[in-house]
Structure 1
Amino acid sequence: MKVQEEAVSAVLNRLRRAQGQLAGVITMVEDGRDCADVVTQLAAVSRALDRAGFKIVASGMRQCRADGRATSPSMTEKELEGLFLSLA
């Protein structure tokens, strides 16, 4: 499954955001910050990574649909992504 070019920018933005958040979590742990604060930020990193993954999968499904391998009516990439995000 190949990521559509339109989705690459959004995926990279999400991954860069997660990278920055993770760096912040590392600093928080090194500084001995409160456990609840660290866990909250770690959860944010996890959500950002999940959303990047869902975007990749949604893009791949959209590509499969565009290739004519789907039998049901077309859905937008945003609709497909929404379905995946509802499972998160």
Structure 2
Amino acid sequence: MTHTTTPDLLNRLKRAQGHFGKIVQMVEEGRDALTIAQQLQAVARAIDKAKVALVLHHIEHHLEEATGPLPSDTRARLSEMAEITKYL
């Protein structure tokens, strides 16, 4: 398993994939546009969160690869960085 196939990332993407399949079904059934738009927004947010998780994990992985194990204060700073990404 590479750092890009972490269980968290795969779970997020599989949930988004399943949810998207339900949206396709909603369109085929002629459900109302507001409901479909709300569900599309939820999938878009899920994919955005998966993207952030991938990028942050990538940064941490290569940082550790370059410097060795990260001290706890560095991990705390990375956690802060991860927390602020929700405002992007």
Q: TM-score, normalised by structure 2?
A: 0.78
Q: What are structure 2's unaligned runs of at least 5 residues?
A: 68-72
In structure 2, the residue matched to 1:81 is 82
Q: 1:65 aligns with which of 50, 63, 66?
A: 63
CA distance in structure 2 between the aligned counterparts of 1:56 and 1:49, rounded to whole angstroms? 10
List per-residue Cα deviations over 1:19-56 (Å, max 9, x = no partner): 01100110010011010000000001111111111001
What is the aligned length? 81
Q: 1:44 aligns with which of 42, 45, 48?
A: 42
- Aligned amino acid, residue 9 of structure 1: P
Q: TM-score, normalised by structure 1?
A: 0.78
CA distance in structure 2 between the aligned counterparts of 1:4 and 1:55, rounded to whole angstroms? 10
Larger proportion of helix? 2
Structure 1 segments of 4 or more deviating over 4 A? none
| Stretch deviating more after TM superposition (76-85 or 38-47) | 76-85
